[in-house]
Structure formats: structure tokens, C-alpha cells
């Protein structure tokens, strides 16, 4: 038996809580020391989850990449042994499958249908629009009262407007869908409230699809409705689930990166100086380093082995669950020396913040563009930007499927 193979005492000592997302005491941007300690101990360790199940936690970058791209590993949450994040997801998983929880030809078929507007070439055409949205929000911030909530005034509306533009969702309905998205991605909201908000979002999008069929526009929803739904390549439920997933993915993920990226920079003023001098490719590299350092999509990719797999001297049996927390893969010293340091000049290109393998983020060119435009402009236009409260008073979002900050009062 290797040192990382499970026995009962191992399991007890590695029972890492996943909600709220564990962080280092006093350093809310660093992963919990317990997770880092597991990485030092072995590439794979057993952990005990909320339901008593004992999936493998894959701690290191190399094994995370190998397993996320292994065809014997499945993201399909219908497979027995899938390590669910929560009781709620386990209870409701049969109601609808999202792209990230599909595998094989079905996954590829749907992924291809949405790919086009997110290809780097098409995304690049959006640069002037994104620049305008960012400039307008900086102008509005500067013209508004101080202190301002950076999340409500800047970090959330920018990705929201951009994804609404790409999908063809009316931004004027944002009060409704921001609240509903926040509810469905939280884990501390009562189940009936989550179900109600999910249902409202579903009906809202189903109605919108009807309107797009009658009166199509130049957006992804109209294209999917007229070319895929009308021709029977997608049914209405599949289309609603697909668009719902895109709308949710396009919001909190990028908003969290804008808010936490700004916070990380405010805590590292030397890095703001690096950013102010940076040209286009250097800003792109800086964004990758922020993505690596922060890894906001937490706590970990979830997978299940569908065949026996031997890796790093360990046998993973078919039917055993896997959790792959990129936040510690991205802090692996063997790939990113001095990984705990935010260094915007490093080559962070191998980070896993967008996942790895067949499920790697479809929207990453769009997210990258938004982050590049934001971080190239923000500190040049507002060089005196500062937190208006103590770090310890910030309300972090650690109860959902991503790490973020609910409010961030700033001044300048
Ligand atoms: C900084 C922002 C973002 C981060 C950190 C992020 C992160 C991720 C990660 C880690 C995955 C992999 C999930 C898995 O393997 O289980 C993923 C998948 C995905 N993301 Fe993103 N994402 C971001 C922005 C976006 C945006 C703007 C969109 C566009 C709507 C988007 C659409 C998707 C889609 C469609 C998938 C599913 C791909 C598949 O399963 O084939 N994401 N994202």
C-alpha cells in the first residue's frame, strides 16, 4: 500500500470541507493550507465528502492534466460514483444535464453548435464594443459617488452586457436575471428558492426563444432558434438548457475575475506598475497570471472513472469519483516556481483556470478579451483606485460553484 492509499485514519485526516470554499486564514486569495499540504503529501489522496463518499482528490498539475484528458474519465453526472458538490445537485441532477456534465458524441454535437461566436477570430471583432462598454463604466464610476461598490458598478455589468450582446438577451432585464443567477449558483439558499429561480430563468429563456423564432436578430440565440430548433436538430428543452448554461457561465465567472483580479492588484501595488507599462501581449500574459493565481472556478472539476486507471503508482477503480481542484494545480511549484507569488511577468500559459481536456472553457477567448480590456484600462484611467474598507471586512462569495466577492467598496 502506498502512503496515499486510503485507510480509515487517512480518510479522517483528509476530510477537507469544500463548502464554504476553504481559504488560507488572513489571505482570502490563497487556497487553504490543508489543500496545499495534501499536494505535498501525494498526487492522489482520498477525501471524505458531505455524503460520506470517499473520492480521490487529485492534487498536482501533471495528474490533473492527465486525468482531465483521459477518455476513461467521465464528466457525466449520471454515472454512478460521480462526486456531487451538494445534496441539492445530487437530488436534482436528472432534471437536466448541462454541457459540462455530458460526454461523447452528444457533448461534441452541442459544443460545436455554440462554438462559432467564441472563436478567437470572431471574438476579436468584439474588441471595440467591449472597449466602449469598459470605457463607459469607468466614466460612470468616476462621475458617481464615492465610495462605490465595484462589483455592482463595474465587475458584474461589463460581462453581463457583453454576454447579453453575444446571446441576444435583453440587458434591460438584468435585475431579474442577475438575482436569479446568483440564487441558482449559491449553495446556502434553501432548495425551494433555488428551484423557483431556476424555473423562472428557464421560462424567461423559453419565451425569449419563441420571440427570436418570430423575429430573429443577429445573435447566437436567434441563430440557434432558426437554424437548429426550427430544423429539429435541437429540441426546445435542449436549447433552453444550453442558453441557460451560457448565460450563467458568461456572468459570475468573468465578474469574479474582474473583482478579485482588481483586489489582487490593489494588494500588490508593484504589479499595478507592471501592468501600467504593459503592451498588448504583456497585458494578455498578465491576465493569464491573474487567472492562474486566482483560479476562481472552485472547488474543483468533478469526474468519475469509467474504467480502472493506474496513475502515479495508484489504482483508481472504475466507478470511483475524482475531484481535481485547479486552484492547487495552479499553485504546483514544479510547474510554476514561486507559485504563491503574483508575478505578472511570468509565463503562466499552462494554467488550468479554464479547465483542461474536452470540456475546456468554450468562452475563454471572450473572457480573456474582457479581462485584457479591463486591466489595460482600469489603473491607467483610475490610478488612485483603492479599497474603501479593510480586507477583512469584504464579504467573500465562498458558498457557490465559484469564488468571488459579493461587494467591494472602492474609492479613488
Ligand atoms: C474568467 C472567466 C471564466 C472562467 C474562469 C471559466 C472557467 C471554466 C472552466 C474551469 C470550465 C471547465 C468545466 C469542466 O471541465 O467541468 C468551463 C467550461 C465552460 N465555460 Fe467557462 N469560464 C469563464 C468564462 C466563460 C464565458 C464568458 C463563457 C461564455 C458564455 C463560458 C462558457 C463555458 C462553456 C460553454 C463551458 C463548457 C464547455 C464544455 O463542457 O465543453 N465560460 N469554464
Confidence label for 28 from pLDDT (cuts 50, 70 and 90)? confident
Kindly give the number of the ligand 1 atom that is closest to the alpha carbon of 162: 27
Task: Provide residues with CB under 6 Å of ligand 1.
Answer: 75, 99-100, 111, 163, 246, 249-250, 253-254, 257, 296-297, 301, 353-355, 359, 361-363, 366-367
Residue with cell 429561480: 197
Give the residue, by CA position, lying nearest to ligand 1 atom 19: 361
Q: Which residue has the higher pLDDT, 248 or 261?
A: 261
Contact at 8 Å (CB) between 32 and 24? yes
Q: Residue 51 and residue 70: Cα distance in Å, rounded? A: 26
Over 50: is that where the pLDDT of 99 sits?
Answer: yes
Kindly give the number of the ligand 1 atom that is closest to the alpha carbon of 256: 1
Instruction: Encode pLDDT of 50-71 as tens digits.
Output: 888 899 999 999 999 999 999 9
pLDDT recorded at residue 13: 46
Most ligand 1 atoms within 8 A of CB, residue of 253, 290, 358 to mutate: 253
Percent of the chain residues topping a pLDDT of 90: 71
Give the residue, by CA position, lying nearest to ligand 1 atom 3: 253
Q: Residue 60 and residue 333: Cα distance in Å, rounded? A: 9
Over 60: is that where the pLDDT of 320 sits?
Answer: yes
CA of 101 to the centre of ligand 1 (A): 12
Confidence label for 18 from pLDDT (cuts 50, 70 and 90)? low
User: How many CB atoms are closer than 10 A to CB 310?
Assistant: 8
Helix or strand holding residue 148 (H, E): strand 148-149
Sheet holding 386-387, edge to edge: 148-149, 409-411, 386-387
Global confidence as pTM: 0.93
Give the residue, by CA position, lying nearest to ligand 1 atom 31: 363
Kindly give the pairing relationship between strand 309-311 and strand 314-316. antiparallel
Give the residue, by CA position, lying nearest to ligand 1 atom 20: 361
The lowest-confidence range among 124-128, 181-185, 333-337 is 181-185
Most ligand 1 atoms within 8 A of CB, residue of 361, 365, 371, 375 to mutate: 361
The Cα angle at residue 134 between residues 171 and 343, in degrees rounded to 5: 125
The lowest-confidence range among 28-32, 216-220, 252-256 is 28-32
Kindly give the number of the ligand 1 atom that is closest to the alpha carbon of 246: 30
pLDDT recorded at residue 150: 98
pLDDT recorded at residue 17: 56
Instruction: Encode pLDDT of 189-222 as tens digits.
Output: 787 888 888 899 999 999 999 999 999 999 999 9
Average pLDDT, integer, range 157-175: 96
pLDDT recorded at residue 278: 92
Q: Residue 205 and residue 203: Cα distance in Å, rounded? A: 5
Average pLDDT, integer, range 146-165: 97
Amino acid at each position: 500500500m502506498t502512503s496515499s492509499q486510503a485507510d480509515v485514519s487517512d480518510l479522517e485526516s483528509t476530510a477537507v470541507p469544500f463548502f464554504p470554499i476553504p481559504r488560507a486564514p488572513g489571505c482570502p486569495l490563497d487556497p487553504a493550507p490543508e489543500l496545499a499540504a495534501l499536494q505535498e503529501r501525494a498526487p492522489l489522496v482520498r477525501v471524505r465528502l458531505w455524503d460520506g463518499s470517499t473520492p480521490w482528490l487529485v492534487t498536482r498539475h501533471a495528474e490533473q492534466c492527465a486525468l482531465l484528458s483521459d477518455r476513461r474519465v467521465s464528466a457525466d453526472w449520471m454515472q454512478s460514483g460521480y462526486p456531487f458538490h451538494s445534496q441539492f445537485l445530487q437530488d436534482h441532477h436528472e432534471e437536466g444535464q448541462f454541457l459540462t456534465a455530458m460526454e461523447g458524441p452528444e457533448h461534441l454535437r452541442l459544443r460545436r453548435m455554440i462554438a462559432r461566436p467564441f472563436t478567437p477570430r470572431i471574438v476579436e471583432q468584439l474588441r471595440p464594443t467591449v472597449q466602449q462598454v469598459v470605457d463607459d463604466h469607468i466614466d460612470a464610476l468616476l462621475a458617481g459617488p464615492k465610495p462605490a461598490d465595484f462589483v455592482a458598478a463595474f465587475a458584474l455589468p461589463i460581462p453581463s452586457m457583453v454576454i447579453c450582446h453575444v446571446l441576444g438577451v435583453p440587458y434591460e432585464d438584468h435585475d431579474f436575471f442577475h438575482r436569479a443567477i446568483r440564487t441558482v449558483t449559491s449553495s446556502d439558499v434553501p432548495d425551494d428558492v433555488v428551484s423557483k429561480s431556476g424555473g423562472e430563468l428557464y421560462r424567461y429563456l423559453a419565451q425569449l426563444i419563441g420571440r427570436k423564432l418570430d423575429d430573429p436578430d443577429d445573435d447566437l440565440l436567434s441563430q440557434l432558434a432558426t437554424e437548429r430548433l426550427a430544423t429539429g436538430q435541437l429540441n426546445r428543452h435542449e436549447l433552453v438548457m444550453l442558453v441557460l448554461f451560457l448565460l450563467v457561465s458568461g456572468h459570475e465567472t468573468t465578474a469574479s475575475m474582474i473583482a478579485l483580479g482588481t483586489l489582487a492588484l490593489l494588494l500588490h501595488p508593484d504589479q499595478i506598475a507592471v501592468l501600467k507599462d504593459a503592451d498588448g501581449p504583456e497585458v494578455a500574459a498578465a491576465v493569464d497570471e491573474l487567472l492562474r493565481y486566482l483560479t476562481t472556478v472552485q472547488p474543483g472539476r468533478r469526474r468519475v472513472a469509467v474504467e480502472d486507471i493506474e496513475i502515479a503508482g495508484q489504482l483508481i477503480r472504475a466507478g470511483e469519483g475524482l475531484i481535481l481542484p485547479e486552484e492547487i494545480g495552479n499553485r504546483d511549484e514544479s510547474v510554476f516556481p514561486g507559485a504563491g507569488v503574483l508575478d505578472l511577468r511570468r509565463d503562466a500559459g499552462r494554467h488550468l483556470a479554464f479547465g483542461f481536456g474536452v470540456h475546456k472553457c468554450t468562452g475563454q477567448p471572450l473572457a480573456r478579451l474582457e479581462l485584457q480590456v479591463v486591466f489595460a484600462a482600469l489603473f491607467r484611467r483610475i490610478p488612485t483606485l483603492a479599497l474603501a474598507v479593510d480586507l477583512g471586512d469584504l464579504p467573500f462569495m465562498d458558498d457557490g460553484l465559484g469564488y468571488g466577492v459579493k461587494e467591494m467598496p472602492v474609492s479613488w
